Amino acid sequence: MTARRRSFLRKIIYGTAILPLLFVLHWLGSPSTLDTETAKGSRGGVLAQQREKDKLAQVYYGKIDPTSETLKLVTLGMRGIAADILWIKGIEYQKKKDWTNLSATLNQIIKLEPNFIDVWRHQGWNLSYNCSAEFDDYRERYRWVIKGIDFLDLGTTYNEREPRLLRDIGWFIAQKIGRSDEHRQFRRLFAADEPFHKRIGKHVRIREGLGPDGKPDNWLVGKLWFRKAEELIDSGGVSPRGMNPLIFRSQAAMCQMNCAAALEQDGVFGDVAQWQWQQASKDWDAFGQFAIATSKDWAVRLGQFDQLKKNRQKVLDRLDALAPGVREKLYKSKLVSLTDEQRKARATPGPKRTSEQHMLAAKAEALLEVRPYEIARNRDMPRENRPKAKELLEEIVKLDDRIGITKSYRGVVNYDYWDQRAKIEQRKEMITARKLVYEGGEELAKGNLSSAASAFADGSRAWYRMLREYPMLMTDKATIDDIDELLEQYGRALDQDDKLFPYDPDDLDNPRNPRNFALAQFVRAQVKDSNKMHRIRLNRKKAEEAEAAGDLATASTFYEKELHNWRGLIADLPSLEQMSDRVTGELILAAIRKYAEVLTKLNQAIPDDFVLHRFVRVQMEHDPETHRAQIAMEAAQAAMEAAQTASEKGQSASQKEHLAAARKAYEQGFALWRSVLERYPTLVADSTLGEELLVVIDEYRQLLDQQQAQMPKDFVLQDILDRYDQP
Amino acid sequence: MVIETEQLPFHEWILWAPLTWLLVVVVLFVVGVFLGSLVAVVRHGPARGLEMTAKVLHAAAGDLFCMSPRRVWALGWLAVKDSLRRRVVVVFILFVVLLLFAGWFLDPGSDHPLRLYISFVLTATSYLVLLLMLFLSAFSLPTDLKNKTLHTVVTKPVRPSEIVLGRMLGFAALGTFLLALMGLISYFFVVRGLAHTHEVVVGSLEAINPGDDTARGDVPLKGKSTSVNNHRHDVLLGRKGRGRLEMAQDHFHRVESRQQGDKTVYEVGQPEGMRVARVPVYGKLRFLDRQRRLADKGINVGDEWSYRGYIEGGSLGAGVWTFEGVTRKQFPERIQLEMTLGVFRTHKGDIEQGVTGTLLLRNPKTGLTVEAKVFAAREFSTDVHRLPRKLTPRNVYYLAKEKDSEGKVKYVREAIGGNRKPQYDLFDDLAEDGRLEVWLQCLDPAQYFGVAQPDLYLRARNASFALNFIKGYFGVWMQMVLVIGFGVMFSTFLSGPVAWIATVGMLVGGFCRGFVLKLALGETYGGGPVESFIRLITQDNVVSDLPEGLRTTVAQTVDAVLQRGLWVIAQILPPLGEFDCANYVAYGFNISADWIGQRGLTTLGFAVALLVVSYFFLKTREVAK
């Protein structure tokens, strides 16, 4: 075969092979065409039909940008690589804080990858959260948060059917602006940012997001974006794409809750705050009625939990009615089978149970529960009722399944808590409590200490009433934070006014007594719930055991450990230092006295670095005995000055009289100080006080010199002299 | 502006750079002569070989030193005509098309739009021109040789050196013309692209002084402008209705009002203050630690980019810049000090307040120190402080320099006592002999200021932006000359495609010269090539030391040799990255004569060396004999 012929044959073979491929290509890739006047359009090849079916055509995404399309073309299919290179450049620019080039690079990346959602989401987050944090000026930070939001907003024009971007915008506007460290400043800037409002006003009805001051509120505007994302999904054909529907659907309602809370933080109370919380409650109820798809063949509505339980009870009653007396019989038999420990645990009232008893009681209650199948399958169930009982049992099982899943879903979004919270917060009493605390804070900032303290005291009482009415608040983190802030501010106001938290010594444990600090029991509850309390008790027990056994060294070690634990607790609840709960405060003082007593028995001095010096000093400074001692010392010093004046005038008789009066006052003062030191024995080791007392003792010595007298042998503050009067 | 590599003053650079050049040239010459002689000796025997070498050297001296400018001109013109035949005009058209569509990618609403525009035009020009010259220079000679068109030239009485020089000059002339054209268009593109005006929002105008009757029409007013290019300005109007739109996006506008019937019309001018070329006077930065002792560097606050060192707030720590030449002549009215600080907070502090700092001026001779300014820091923006000639400081004291027990230099504060004056003159009291120290301290405890040497400078004056723009293009021009030099040199002994690849290699190497040098000096993580290879195959990280042993010793010994070779290569590579001065123009800093001088001489040095090498290579070709 000649070369020419071989070449010809090869061409024939290639041509023959290509021909079927062309048919395949046509079948797969021929484009769809529209109907014209003269001819009917075609649905196109497989790919075109699939694209149409899954709405993958470019036109379905959103805006078609000629720049972007041109760039995609000129990169000749290498746009992924080009975007990667730009991405790396962007990282480098960000590292070198070259914000202008970073922004320019991001603009180029999105031109290359306009429909790559993660690019928008990642870089939007990067701008709003990472880049903004690089700036020191909060106004710049806000500008970069907005840049991130604008970036996402641009993304929505290229990807109109992408709920994740809408959700992210909602999240950034709500959470980033409303929850940052600079949330007060950010919210203020957001409310005044008219150009931004104008920009987003093209996508959401910004008028619906106005706060009480008539300016957009970030939480309410965020809510609008969440609603927009919800509407997009509800309009059909768009999937939530990886977003947990439960969390996603709760976000708009949560925005309303946060808005109401933020307004109160900003000092907006009264009807406005109440209306916002009422709205929050409505939104939450609406969320509770929304059907959330599950992996089962039915949807969950969080708000139907109580109804489901009622339904179950009704079915259960019908089951019981089929076999009267069976439930009681079963219960009795179960009760008999309980162990003695379980019975004892059940009989012990809740607050008095040990942790072990709590477990035993819980186990006993579980054992006592009569399960529906035990009734349905019981021998005593009349034969004729058994088919019906089986039917009811199946119904109960189904309801249990629904109840279980609904309960679990409610737990995910903390449904009960927010439901209750919204209802409680709209109560006038609650709004008053918050308002009083806010006013106290304002007065404190102005330096009006007595007005501040008065407002805080009223606020504390209002809070006490709410806590009494809604005990669930005692364990609510947000409430605990709010009250901690109240305690901190109230404590600051009292401290600046040189006072401790108020109390009535004759009616200490009565929170309704207006002379007592109303939230003392709340503080005590916090102390009780603290994990440090367990260690305090344990160390105390070991110390007492060692002391009883005569091992004082070990006892002192454990007492010292106990005091360390108390110090940790005071660090957690700083208001304790100012006796926000006097019962706990006295416990700490008792522990300190016990420790000092053991050290005295051991003939050891209180260490200089005693852990609770600060606490003791605060108590000492506010003790009436200390006050009397100080008055006595001042009187002595005044008499000394008078004696000096008399001496200068040459009035020796008068000088002697004044010296005698001074000596008497000094000795009275020393006696009072002795009494203070007995009450707070560790004060001996407080070098600041020691040095102060030494100065006074020196004055007394000078007085004695002038009287040509000697220091008394049984001088009451000899221990202070021994400790601090070093040559 | 970030300047990561310190720019030496010309008078310091000139002391060592020509010597290094001479050393490299001599070494290359000796190696070349030795290799040439060796080949000649091997081929023709010792006597004949050496004689031939001598002859070649003699002829080379003649060829290189007795070139005819007329012939060089003619050959250069031939190169130009040849290039025009190859449709170089296409590149120009491409450039114009790029500019036409640039508006799609450039955002005039960016924070610093001029930076974007300048970076774009300079980068686009440099890419296009360098690519064009790469092709022209690498393919020209080989194509002529292939088509035998060069034979018609060499039959004429021309020297090989004239052929090479003619080519180089021809391409350079063509490139210069193209660059000039592109530069001109670019300038107008930038000016036009950023031109805009605003309108004054009349409703926003209100009296600056409360109580003024705005209806009277001659009271100072403040207000807002409309938003254009993603920004708006604060408007400040004086009594006569004249005023300005305050700084935003690096520019301001002048505004004038006039009455039109019973209406006041505001006329806003074009942006100003954007196209500048600041002439900075840089100082030498040293850091002091919290005890006011000299430290090697600033504190590292954990920033990935270690460009800036940090100064601890609320301590005696400071950044000290020593300036030379601070004279009345250079700063006749006042000293304008400009700085860009980094701020690092270890706690939130007062969110609404910037971290405060202080600027001290110290006379390095007497130690007299005055507090010139207390300020709140503004990060990522140029903070301008104008210091009048007569200062009335709140704090004055001496900072005496002494050595502590460890031998470290330390500054000790001494009270000024009765020597205190009510006013201090910048030049008489502080910069007596033109030397002045500026101390920067952060006042807020547990907060930090981050600074690098170029972050604080004295602004002497403003140079012409247009001239600076031309200088920016001069930087591209020098890169182009180097590419032409290498392209022609490789094309004298390699075929077109191979010469092209070799020049591209040189180009890439030139742009990455800094990295190559780092590799050669062992300043990169992971060790040399062999050590890195071991790490790669053992999947070891680049930071931890390799286990001690024979393998590591051998690897590191081989690496040491390879790194020396790499060092030699790095020295031969043209420092193309250093010629890029787009940032200077974009950030509004004047390209100094020092910069131009150093790069110009470097280019000349390379061009001369490349001409000589090209001559010898061409001489070895049959056609040139």
Across the interface, which of B107, B227, B379 has its CB nearest the CB of A136? B379
Instruction: Please indicate whether, in this complex, the C-beta atoms of A108 and B107 are within 8 angstroms of each other.
Output: no
Where is average pLDDT lowest: A507-511, B34-38, B179-183, B197-201? Answer: A507-511
Compute the C-alpha angle A643/A648/A651, nearest 5°.
Answer: 65
- Whether A67 and B307 lie within 8 Å, measured CB to CB: no
Half-sphere exposure of A270 (CA within 13 A, CB side): 4
A56 compared with B493, residue with greater pLDDT? B493
Residue tagged 């006003």 (tokens): A201
If you measure CA to CA, which chain A residue comes closest to B228? A195
The Cα of B325 is separated from the nearest Cα of chain A by a number of Å equal to 31
| pLDDT exceeds cutoff 80 at B68 | yes
Where helices occur in A241-385 by DSSP H, the ranges are 245-265, 270-289, 305-322, 326-336, 340-347, 355-368, 372-376
Does the pLDDT at position B625 exceed 60?
no
**Closest alpha carbon within chain A to B303:** A95
Average pLDDT over residues B327-339: 89
Q: Which residues fall within 8 angstroms of residue B452, CB to CB, at 6 or more apart? A: B2, B3, B285, B307, B308, B309
Structure tokens at A197: 């409002």
How many C-beta neighbours within 10 Å does residue B325 have? 15
Max CA pair span of chain A = 152
Task: Give the pLDDT confidence score for residue B217 in this predicted structure.
Answer: 64
Cα separations in angstroms, B582 against A296, A322, B95, B118, B371: 63, 92, 18, 7, 37
Region for A243 from its dihedrals, namely left if φ exceeds 0, alpha if ψ lies in -120 to 50, beta otherwise: beta
Q: Please judge whether A185 and B352 are an interchain contact, meaning their C-beta atoms are less than 8 angstroms apart.
A: yes
* Closest CA in chain A for residue B112: A100
Which of these ranges, A451-465, A467-481, B277-291, B334-348, has the smallest mean pLDDT?
A467-481
Mean pLDDT of A228-255: 88
Tell the residue number behind the tokens 């995609």, with chain if given: A72
Banded model confidence at residue B597, pLDDT cuts 50, 70, 90:
very high
Please give the residue of chain A at the shortest CA–CA distance from B107.
A104
How far is residue B90's CA from residue B131's CA, in Å, rounded to a whole number? 12
Strands across the sheet containing B383-388: B278-282, B456-462, B334-339, B383-388
Q: Which of A100, A102, A131, A193 to mutate to test the interface with B (most CBs of B within 10 A)?
A: A100
Interfacial residues of A (vs B; Cβ cutoff 8 Å) = 66-67, 70, 95-101, 103-104, 107-108, 111, 135-138, 140, 181-182, 185, 195
Contact (CB, 8 A) for A257 and A418: yes
- pLDDT at residue B286 in the model: 96
| pLDDT tens-digit series, residues B602-614 | 999 999 999 999 9
Determine how β-strand B294-295 pairs with β-strand B318-323. Answer: unpaired
Question: For B116, which of A104, A137, A195 is closest by C-beta distance?
Answer: A104
The candidate with the shortest Cα–Cα distance to A606, out of A689, A726, A693, is A689
Mean pLDDT confidence for B103-109: 74
B469: Cα separation from own chain's centroid: 13
Instruction: Please say if the pLDDT value at position B624 is more than 60.
Output: no
Please, which pLDDT band fits residue B214 given cuts at 50, 70 and 90? low
Q: Residue A358 — very low, low, confident or very high, per pLDDT cuts 50/70/90?
A: confident
Instruction: Please compute the mean of the pLDDT values over residues A156-178 and round it to a whole number.
Output: 93
CA–CA separation, B408 vs B293, rounded Å? 7
Distance from CA of B204 to the nearest CA of A (A): 13
Residue A561 scores a pLDDT above 90: yes
**Chain A residues close to B107, C-beta within 8 Å:** 103-104, 107
* Residue B461 Cα, gap to closest chain A Cα (Å): 26
What pLDDT is stored for residue B622 in this prediction?
61
- Among the listed residues A130, A107, A132, A129, the one whose alpha carbon sits nearest the alpha carbon of residue A119: A107
**Residue A5, token pair as written in the block:** 């012929």
- Tell me which chain B residues have a C-beta less than 8 angstroms from the C-beta of A104: 106-107, 110, 116
Long-range contacts of B344-351 (CB under 8 A, 24+ apart): B344/B301, B344/B303, B344/B310, B344/B447, B344/B448, B344/B449, B344/B450, B345/A136, B345/B446, B345/B447, B345/B448, B346/B446, B346/B447, B346/B448, B347/B446, B347/B447, B348/A181, B349/B444, B349/B447, B351/A138, B351/A181, B351/A182, B351/A185
Query: What are the tens digits of pLDDT across the range A111-133?
Result: 899 889 999 999 999 999 999 99
Strand B447-451's sheet: what is its strand order?
Answer: B309-312, B447-451, B342-345
Average pLDDT over residues A488-509: 89
Residues in chain A within 8 Å Cβ distance of B349: none
CA angle A526–A532–A536, rounded 5-degree value: 115
Helix pair angle (A477-496, A520-529), 10° resolution: 120
pLDDT at position A727 is 61
pLDDT surpassing 90 at residue B574: no
Chain A: give the shortest CA distance to residue B159, in Å.
46
**Nearest C-alpha of chain B: how many angstroms from A155?**
16
pLDDT score of B475 more than 90:
yes
Answer yes or no: is pLDDT of B323 > 90.
yes
Residue A207: the pLDDT is 92
Q: Kindly state the percentage of chain B with pLDDT values over 70.
A: 98
Q: Is the pLDDT of residue B216 over 70?
A: no
pLDDT digits (tens, 9 = 90+) for A77-116: 888 999 999 999 999 999 999 888 899 899 889 989 988 9
Average pLDDT over residues B302-331: 92
CA distance A272 to A428: 11
Q: Give me the mean pLDDT over the B332-355 stretch.
A: 91
Asked whether the beta carbons of residue A136 and residue B112 sit closer than 8 angstroms, the reply is no
pLDDT above 90 coverage of chain B, percent? 42
Measured between alpha carbons, how far apart are the two ends of chain A, in Å?
A: 125
pLDDT, position A296: 85
CB spacing of A136 vs B232 below 8 angstroms: no
List the end-to-end C-alpha distance of chain B, in Å, as a whole number.
53
Q: Do A104 and B227 touch (CB under 8 A)?
A: no
Best of B105, B346, B348 to disrupt the A interface (most A CBs within 10 Å) is B105
Question: Which structure tokens are listed for B286?
Answer: 């040293």
User: Are A97 and B305 in contact (CB < 8 Å)?
Assistant: yes
Q: What is the ipTM of this complex?
A: 0.82
Residue pair B395/B280 in contact by the 8 Å Cβ criterion: no
Average pLDDT score over residue span B212-218: 66
User: What average pLDDT does range B583-593 have in this prediction?
Assistant: 91
Residues of B in contact with A97 (CB under 8 A): 305, 342, 380
Q: Distance between CA atoms of A313 and A308, rounded to whole angstroms?
A: 9
Strands (E), B178-262: 206-207, 221-224, 234-237, 242-248, 251-260
Please judge whether B355 and A135 are an interchain contact, meaning their C-beta atoms are less than 8 angstroms apart.
Answer: no
Of all residues in chain A, the one with the smallest CA distance to B101 is: A67
Q: Which residue has the tokens 């926003």?
A: B204
pLDDT of amino acid A707: 86
User: Mean pLDDT across the stretch B379-403?
Assistant: 90
Query: Does B219 score more than 80 pLDDT?
Result: no
CB proximity list for A609: less than 8 A, separation 6 or greater: none
B346-379: pLDDT as tens digits: 998 888 889 999 999 999 999 999 999 999 998 8
Predicted pLDDT of residue A38: 66
CA distance A76 to chain B (A): 17
Confidence at residue B309, expressed as pLDDT on a 0 to 100 scale: 95
The percent of residues in chain A predicted with pLDDT above 70, rounded, is 97
Q: Cα(B275)–Cα(B535) distance, rounded to whole angstroms?
A: 50
Distance between CA atoms of B374 and B441, rounded to whole angstroms? 10
Question: Which residues in chain B are contacts of A181 at CB distance < 8 A?
Answer: 348, 351
Query: Does residue B575 carry a pLDDT above 70?
Result: yes
Say yes or no for a CB contact (<8 Å) between B380 and A135.
yes
Predicted TM-score (pTM) of the model is: 0.80
* Best to test chain B binding among A137, A151, A199 (most B CBs inside 10 Å): A137
Calculate the average pLDDT of chain A. 90
Residue of B nearest to A101 (CA): B116
What's at A85, amino acid-wise? I
Q: Which residues of A touch B233 (CB under 8 A)?
A: none
pLDDT for A208 equals: 92
Is B352–A70 a contact, with Cβ atoms under 8 angstroms apart?
Answer: no
Q: What is the pLDDT of residue A673?
A: 93
Cβ B101–A70 below 8 Å, yes or no?
yes
Mutate to test the interface with B, among A75, A91, A136, A180 (most CBs of B within 10 A): A136
Least confident of A61-75, A567-581, A694-708, B388-402: A61-75
Chain A residue numbers with beta carbons less than 8 Å from the beta carbon of B227 are: 195
Beta-carbon pairs below 8 A across chains A and B:
58
